[in-house]
Structures are given as structure tokens and as C-alpha cells.
Amino acid sequence: MSRLDPPEVIRVDRERLVETIAAQLAGGLRLGLVAAHEDRPSTSDARFRIVHVLLGADGRRVEVVVEIPRAGAWLPTLAGVSYPAGRFEREMRDLYGIVPRDHPQPYRLVRHGHWPTGYHPMLADADPNPDFGADAGFPFAEVTGKGVYEIPVGPVHAGLIEPGHFRFSVVGETIVRMYQRLYFAHRGVEKLFEGRPAAEGIALAERISGDTAVGHSLAFAMAVEDALGIEVAERERLVRALLVECERLYNHINDIGAIINDTGFGIVNQHAARLRETLLRHNERLTGHRLLRGAIRIGGADLLDRPDLALVAAVADEAAELARISTEHPMVANRLDTTAVLPPDQARSLGVLGYVARASGIRVDARADQPFADLGDGFHVVTAEAGDVRARFDVRVGEIAVSARLVADLAVRIQALERSSAVLELAGPGAGLGVVEAWRGTLVHRVEVGADGNLTRVKVVDPSFCTWPALGIALADTIVPDFPLANKSFNLSYAGNDL
Amino acid sequence: MTIGAVTVIVIHLVLAVLLSPVLIGVMRTTRARLEGRVGGGIRQPWRDLRKLLAKQPTRAPGSTPVLTLAPILLMASSLVLCALIPFVSTVALTSVPGDLFVVVGVLLLGTVALALLGLESGTAFGGMGSSRHMVIAALVEPTVLLSIYALSVPAGTSALAAIVRARLADPASLLNPASLLAIFALVVVVIAETGRLPVDNPSTHLELTMIHEAMILESGGRDLGWLELGSWLRLTALLGLVANLALPWGIAQDAAPLGLLVGVAAITGKLLLLGAALAAVEVFIAKLRLFRVPELLAGSFVLAFLSVSASYLVF
């Protein structure tokens, strides 16, 4: 298997945008990414070009491109045909000033109250250091009624987690509505990519979300390779697949401990932390970095050492034992079962990804849908039906076993192949797509490279961006003291979402 | 006799204040070691307390004297509890009865002080903690009352010292079903009252799940130090009560120095062992879903009720 086919590009005008996207969605594709581009800025012919990337379950990729004049830019909203599209539009409005017309939720998403009016940071002429005013506040939809009260939590939390504000409207102990306010960790990552040589983007991509260093750097590298027509040798692709699985292993094991810790059964967390540390040290031996940074490069991937298969197998066995001890404990099982259910139809219409989707019975996994390497017989997609905390826990447990098996298989196959050394010529222009099943879910990068080999636009979609809205849905009828457990079972990235 | 009783009370107070940080330290260290951690050491709670008491409290603008008074009230109620409960000797002041109704009343005083403190801060967490705490208190207090009442039936008095003396005089009564049921019910409510697993998780940092910790989130410095010590003393007093009701051996019957010395050694050993056992059990259990806590407490109430009925049938 080599590179996937280049995407089918459909150019439409904005009058026909909605029907075109709707037709593609009806054809079984899902909206993976929407990226706005500012073409020929500061000329009289300045235009916005918006690329909608649709991904199929069979490796199919379709790009629907619409061009609009920059002055008074607007688009017909797609929120009616796709919920994720509505969120991409809100993001685009805040960052580029492109107005989605007749949007059902015309509220800001990225921008906080203290941003200056009319400030759209992704525009070429945006002031990099604007005059941020006092916080103009952020109104929340108030739930009124007898006995309803609000609990504000964050953005500074008690644990070592990222910033995010949650506003619960509660009756007694039952959550009526949960509103989340994110984008406290908005660093302007996409803008930081612009103008850098493509090879330098790797280091930045590794730092988008610290626990997904491989996922982001690989998606970025694959997008650049796709843009510049670089072929990656079989061995390097297998090494990349192995690294993705190593990342999945240590993160899933960490999650297992964290979920059980929130039920008060701390001993499992202690042992999970020990297993995670074992894996982190193994990572350091493999790549020179505990979080696997520095292993992926454009055109390839490197390992410093052979994976210790006995160690990985032993860790996976112990993780399975920990999971068994937890789920066979009646008090722990009672906390996990039926807590924070995300129904499959809701999960599907919200467009959630990763283990959250698979725990609600949706079989979405880029390793099967958009593969970049043949993973062999050891791979299968783990799914569960219930959609509760238990299902998300079980999916992770299943994926640990699959990942450990894949690491073993891939290591043997890598050993049998010769290391290739090709000198790369990074010359543009071009546009490309990178799709990776990172540990949280399907990660998409879309990269455009200029004629000088520098990046002109990088759009990043972390699976967390698509999955965050589902947390509030899953909390319906959940009680307040179970929120931390529900949140841990989602474990979404703030940095990856906020960019 | 009065001088003897006063001596005993002074010993109770000094012992409780010195022992309670050690008890917490032993419990935390036991749990840490069983989980494969090193832990902060047995003296860590004592060091924390010293640090907190030396610090000026930060109080929110607009806060009322409740913020200052609640820690004092909790501390005072815990100290009275320690003075009344027969730890070292069964000698008691005749004018101040260590009556079980008095003990439950004093316990409730501390509970109310904590709940008011939680509401005082005006934050959602404090109010949430207070509301949960009162729900649990409402379920706990009757059970405390009933289970000790069951033990008072054979003794024919509701004075705790007299109950302990009667149980010591008749060791066979320790093993009768009514007594065992009452002790078991008492253990469950002591766990709930002092905010241990499976009712509350004292080591969590997640505000939304907290009960006890949520109420004291807004307190700091000296205020927090007194609240911590007050809560530890409560735990010490209640565990001491359980220990001396279940295993009354070693407690002195008078105020003679040798007897008191044996009594001090006995209660110290019993408390630390009981604390370590409680911590060891905590390693193996998880926190109950909040809405299932009432089921647990209702269960313990039923046990206490059965115990009272059985007491009348047996005696």
C-alpha cells in the first residue's frame, strides 16, 4: 500500500455549497476539516478560499472548494446539514471574519470578551499585538426555575489540568445543562506555522498538544509529503505506525488509572502510573524523548533502538489485569456503569471521534478508514455499545491489547526491512492532507506550501474539537459528583482544541 | 473524686490533641504504603498543622464573623467531645454527665458550625458541600443515638462511662448479637460522619465530588489549621468511643497514676490499630455514588434499630 489517492476536488460557488456538501454527506462521507485561506491579501482582488475536506470510510477524500470576495465575506451556513460544520463556521467567523449567514447558533466560539471588536487574528493584516480591553464578560444562557442554581468551575482547576470553564445549571444534584467555555489556551498555533520552512513545522506540530506529539507531527508530516509529492518508504511508514501505537499505549494506560482514581479506588491509579512510567522510559530509549518527540521527520521516521517487546507485552498484561480488578470490583463497576451515557444517534449527529465514538457503537477509526500503512491481522477496531463511562473504559482496555499486539507485529516487520536513505527536495507549491488516528481520535492536518517551500497555511483539527460538544450531551441526567468521572472518560484536549 | 475527674479530663484533652495528628499520619502512611507509595510520613499532619497555625488567614471581603467563629466552634465542640468520651478512665465528673444525648448534641454542634462555614463563603462549592453534609448528618445522628442507646439498655444508664464500665465488668456481653449489631452500625456512621471512604474521599482534589473538603475550601491559614485539627479530633473521639465500647480492656476505673498510664497506653494502641485497619480497608474500596450513600446509612440505621429491639428482648 502506498499513498492514498489524491482527493477529488469539487469547485462550487456559494449558492450551490449547501447542496454539494449535503450530497457528499449523504454519500457516507463525514466532514473532517474546514479551512479558510486568504488569497492575494492587500490587493483589490483579495478573496477567501474555503476548503471543506470530507473523508470516507474507504479511504475516499473529497475537497469542496468555494471562493468568495474578501469584502463583506459571507457564506450560507452548513449548520443545517452538519453539526461539526456549524462549529467550523463559528471558528472561521471569529478568526477570519467570514460570516455564516442564518447560522442557528450565531455566538462566538474562539474569541473571548476582551478581544477588540472586529479583530480577526488569522487575517494577514491583523495586528499581532492588539489592544486587549478589559474582559467584557461572557453571558451564559441562564436556566431558570424553582431550585435551579449555577456552579461555575474553572478555568483554573484543582488538578494539574488545562484551563477551561464549565458552567453547570443544577437542580439538587442533577445536572440540567452544562456549558463549557474553552479557548483559554488559544496560542495562535495555525498562524505560527505560516512562513516557516516546512521541515521546521514538525517541532511546532509536536507541541500543539503535549500528549499527542506523534499524532500531530505525523499528521503534519503526512500533509507536507502529500503536498510535495514525497513518497515514504515502507519501513518508515511502519515505524510511524509503531510510534502512534506507543503513544496510544501510554496515554490509554494513564486514562485507565485516572478514571478509576475518580471512583476513589486509588491503588489502580498508582499502578497505572507505574506502568506509564515504564512506557515513558521505553519511549525515551526508542526516540530519545519520553513523549516521543523528535522521531517523525518529513519523509520518514527514526528509531534509536529496537522496541523491547517483552516489556510492552508485560505492561499490556498488567494493564489488562488492572482493568479486570477494577471492573470486577462491584463498587467501582457501579460507578462506571450507566454513568454519562452518550447515545449513538447523538454521537453520530455531533460527529464525535475516537474512543468516545467507538464506545457509542460508531466504528470510526482512521487506521481502518484512511490507512497509511498496512497494520496486518493483529488490528481490529474495538467498539462498545453502551456509550457510558464503562464503555469508554472498556474500549481503551481493548485498544491497549490491540496496540501491544501491533507494536509486536510492526517491530518484527520493521526488522525485516532495509533502512532507506533518500535526500529530500522540499519544493512547492502544493496542498496536502494528513489523516492519522491519534490516541484521542482522527486527527487531520491540511497544509499549503508556497513555491519557496515555506508553509503558507496549516489547518489543524484535533479530534477534541469535534468531541467537546458531546460532553454536555452525555451529562444529561448525570449527577454533579459524577462529572469528574465523565470528564475523565472523555479526557479531551484543551490545547488541541484551542490551538 | 472531683480532682480525679478533672485530672482525667485534662489527660483526655492533652492526649487527644497530641494523638490525633499521629492517628491521621498513621492512617495516611498505611494507605500510602499499601498502595505502593512512600507517603509523607507519620509526622506530616503535625508539620502541616504547625505550618497552618503560624499563617495569617485570608478572608474574603464582606465575610461575616462566621468565618472566624466556625473553626473555633468546631474546635471547641471536638474538645468537649474528647473530654466527655471515656478514653483513658471511666471516672467522670458527676456534674457534667458524659451522657450519650449530650455527646450527640455536641457532635451536631460541630456539624452545624461546618455547614454554616460552607454557606458563609458564598461559593457554589461551599453550599454544595454544606447541603451534602447536612443530608448525611441527618441520616447519621439518629443512628449514633440508637446504636449507643442499644448498648445503654443492658447497662441501665445512658452515661458513656457507666456503659463502658458495665461492658468491662461483663465481657460476655461484648459478643452478644445486640452489641455486635450496635458496634457495626456505629462504625458505619463514624466513617460517614468523619468523611472517609466510601462516603467521602478525603484525598480528592475534585471540588465537585467533595463533601467535607468543599466546606473548608475557602478557609486558609490559622482558620484552616483549626478546622483540620477540629476534624481530626472528631475522628479521634469517635474512633476512641468505638474502640472502648467494642474492646473496653485497659481502661482505668479510677484516677490512680498507674491505671491512667495503662489506660493511655491502651487507648493509644487501640486507636492507632483501628486507624490503620480503617485505612487498610479504604485501599480496597471505592467511593459510593452519592445517591447510594443514603442506602448505606439507612442500612446502618436498620442495624441499630434491630440492636435496640434485641436489647429489650435479651435483657
Q: Are A306 and A411 in contact (CB under 8 A)?
A: yes
pLDDT over 70 at A135, yes or no: no
Q: Which residues of A touch B127 (CB under 8 A)?
A: 149
C-alpha cell at B263: 489506660
Give residue A381's pLDDT.
Answer: 93
pLDDT digits (tens, 9 = 90+) for A178-222: 888 889 889 999 999 999 998 889 999 999 998 999 999 999 999
Residue with the three cell numbers 456481653: B173
Give residue A1's pLDDT.
Answer: 39
A464/A475 Cα distance (integer angstroms): 17
Q: Least CA distance to B211: which residue of chain A? A: A481
Instruction: Choose among B35, B204, B208: nearest Cβ to A270.
Output: B35
pLDDT over 90 at B174, yes or no: no
Are β-strands A30-39 and A8-12 bridged in parallel, bridged antiparallel, or unpaired? unpaired
ipTM attached to this prediction? 0.89
Q: Are B313 and B177 in contact (CB under 8 A)?
A: no
pLDDT over 70 at B202, yes or no: yes
Q: Quick one: pLDDT band at residue A5, thresholds 50, 70, 90?
A: low
Give residue B75's pLDDT.
Answer: 95
Instruction: Choose among A262, A270, A484: nearest Cβ to B37.
Output: A270
* Number of DSSP helices (H) and strands (E) in chain A, helices first: 16, 14
pLDDT over 70 at A324, yes or no: yes
Residue with the three cell numbers 476505673: B253
| Residues B290, A479: C-beta atoms closer than 8 Å | yes
pLDDT over 90 at B155, yes or no: no
Return contacts of B151-156, CB within 8 angstroms, 24+ apart: B151/B179, B151/B182, B151/B245, B151/B311, B152/B100, B153/B178, B153/B308, B153/B311, B153/B312, B153/B315, B154/B178, B154/B179, B154/B311, B154/B314, B154/B315
Q: What is the mean pLDDT of residues B105-118?
A: 91
Helix or strand (DSSP H, E) at A167: strand A165-171
Beta pairing partners, A30: A55
Q: Which residues of A touch B128 (CB under 8 A)?
A: 151, 480
Q: Quick one: pLDDT band at residue B315, thresholds 50, 70, 90?
A: low
A448/A429 Cα distance (integer angstroms): 7
Indicate which of A267, A334, A479, A485 best probes the interface with B, i.e. most B CBs within 10 Å of its own CB: A267
A62/A24 Cα distance (integer angstroms): 8
A138/A127 Cα distance (integer angstroms): 23
Instruction: Give me the total of CB pairs closer than 8 Å, taking one residue from chain A and one from chain B.
Output: 73
Q: Which residues of B touch A332 (CB under 8 A)?
A: 286
Q: What is the mean pLDDT of residues B184-188?
A: 90
Mean model confidence pLDDT for chain B: 89
| Residues A479, B198: C-beta atoms closer than 8 Å | no
- Percent of chain B predicted with pLDDT > 70: 99
Q: What is the mean pLDDT of residues A375-397?
A: 92
Q: Are B278 and B196 in contact (CB under 8 A)?
A: yes
Give residue A145's pLDDT.
Answer: 85
| Residues A481, B292: C-beta atoms closer than 8 Å | no
What DSSP designation does A184 have?
T
Ranked by mean pLDDT, which of A7-21, A106-120, A147-161, B266-280 comes out on top?
A: B266-280
Instruction: Choose among A151, A262, A267: nearest Cβ to B124.
Output: A151
A63/B20 Cα distance (integer angstroms): 68
Q: What is the mean pLDDT of residues A265-278?
A: 93
What DSSP designation does B287 have?
P
Give residue A284's pLDDT.
Answer: 94
Q: Which residues of B touch A480 (CB under 8 A)?
A: 128, 208
**Of the listed ranges A286-300, A353-367, B151-165, the one predicted with least confidence:** B151-165
Q: Quick one: pLDDT band at residue A42, thresholds 50, 70, 90?
A: confident
Give residue B1's pLDDT.
Answer: 60
| Residues A335, B128: C-beta atoms closer than 8 Å | no
Q: Which residues of B touch A158 (CB under 8 A)?
A: 205-207
Mean model confidence pLDDT for chain A: 90
Instruction: Choose among A153, A260, A266: nearest Cβ to B203.
Output: A266
User: Which sequence spans correspond to the domains of chain B?
Assistant: 3-15+66-314
Give residue B210's pLDDT.
Answer: 85
Instruction: Choose among B127, B204, B207: nearest Cβ to A153.
Output: B207
Q: Are B260 and B89 in contact (CB under 8 A)?
A: yes
B144/B241 Cα distance (integer angstroms): 11
pLDDT digits (tens, 9 = 90+) for B298-310: 999 999 999 988 8
Residue with the three cell numbers 497530641: B18
- DSSP output for B247-274: --TT-BSS--HHHHHHHHHHHHHHHHHH
What DSSP designation does A294 have?
T
pLDDT over 90 at A257, yes or no: yes
Query: CB distance from B202 to chain A under 8 Å?
Result: no
pLDDT digits (tens, 9 = 90+) for B232-251: 999 999 999 999 999 998 88
Query: CB distance from B313 to chain A under 8 Å?
Result: no
pLDDT digits (tens, 9 = 90+) for A431-482: 899 999 999 999 999 999 988 888 999 999 999 999 999 999 999 888 988 9
Torsion of CA B112, B116, B117, B120, to 10 degrees: 180
Query: CB distance from B3 to chain A under 8 Å?
Result: no
Interface residues from chain A to B (CB-CB < 8 Å): 149-153, 158-159, 173, 260, 262-267, 270-271, 274, 329, 331-332, 334-335, 479-484
Q: Are A24 and A67 in contact (CB under 8 A)?
A: no
Within chain B, residue ranges assigned H as helices are 2-34, 44-53, 66-84, 100-120, 124-155, 160-169, 177-193, 212-215, 221-246, 257-284, 293-314
pLDDT over 70 at A2, yes or no: no
Instruction: Choose among A159, A331, A480: nearest Cβ to B285.
Output: A331
A325/A319 Cα distance (integer angstroms): 10
Indicate which of B287, B288, B290, B291 best probes the interface with A, i.e. most A CBs within 10 Å of its own CB: B287
DSSP 3-state of A300 = strand
Query: CB distance from B125 to chain A under 8 Å?
Result: yes
Q: What is the mean pLDDT of residues A342-370?
A: 93
Q: What is the mean pLDDT of residues B69-79?
A: 94
